[in-house]
Amino acid sequence: MTGRQVFEYSLIELNKVEAPSLLLEDYNYFINKAIINYSNKRYNVYDVNQQSTDDLRVLKGTSIITGMTAKTGNKLQGATYVGDLPQDYFHILNCIVEFTATKRFKCYTPNEAVYFGAKRLTADMYSQIINNFYLKPSYKNPYFYLHNENEPVGEINTSGTSDDQKSANSRDANSSPVKIEIRYGKDNTLFVLTKVHIDYLKSPKHVVLTQEQIDSTEDTSQVIEFPDYVCHEIIKELVALLMENSSDPRLQTNIPVNQSIAPPAGAQQSAKR
pLDDT tens string for the chain (273 positions)? 999 999 999 998 888 765 567 889 999 999 999 999 999 999 999 988 898 899 999 999 999 999 888 877 666 667 788 999 999 999 999 999 999 988 888 888 888 899 999 999 988 888 888 888 889 898 899 999 987 765 544 444 555 566 667 787 787 777 778 899 999 888 888 898 999 999 999 999 999 999 999 999 999 999 999 999 999 999 999 999 998 888 878 777 776 666 666 666 665 555 444
Looking at the structure, tell me whether residues 187 and 86 fall in a common domain.
yes
- Quick one: CA torsion of 259, 265, 270, 273, rounded to 10 degrees? 90
With b for 16 or more beta-carbon neighbours within 10 A and e for fewer, the 60-93 pattern comes to ebebebeebeebeeeeebebbbebbbbebbbbbe
Looking at the structure, tell me whether residues 96 and 194 fall in a common domain.
yes
pLDDT of residue 168: 79
Contacts of residue 191, Cβ cutoff 8 Å, sequence gap at least 6: 99, 100, 101, 102, 114, 139, 184
Q: Which residues pair with 179 in a beta bridge?
A: 84, 147
Looking at the structure, tell me whether residues 128 and 189 fall in a common domain.
yes
pLDDT of residue 246: 84
Q: How far apart are CA 236 and CA 249, in angstroms?
A: 16
Looking at the structure, tell me whether residues 41 and 72 fall in a common domain.
no
Looking at the structure, tell me whether residues 11 and 40 fall in a common domain.
yes
Looking at the structure, tell me whether residues 77 and 178 fall in a common domain.
yes
Structural domain tally of the chain? 2
Whether residue 268 lies inside any domain: the answer is no
Cβ-based neighbour number of residue 101 at 10 Å: 19
Looking at the structure, tell me whether residues 141 and 177 fall in a common domain.
yes
pLDDT of residue 156: 44
Contacts of residue 115, Cβ cutoff 8 Å, sequence gap at least 6: 96, 97, 98, 99, 197
Q: Residue 123 is part of which domain span?
A: 60-149+170-202
Cβ-based neighbour number of residue 227 at 10 Å: 14
Q: How far apart are CA 179 and CA 189, in angstroms?
A: 23
145, containing H or E segment: strand 143-147
Whether residue 36 lies inside any domain: the answer is yes
pLDDT of residue 73: 62
Q: How far apart are CA 190 and CA 197, in angstroms?
A: 20
Looking at the structure, tell me whether residues 121 and 197 fall in a common domain.
yes
pLDDT of residue 272: 44
Rg (CA), the chain: 23
- Please write the tens of the pLDDT for every residue from 67-91: 888 877 666 667 788 999 999 999 9
Looking at the structure, tell me whether residues 231 and 191 fall in a common domain.
no
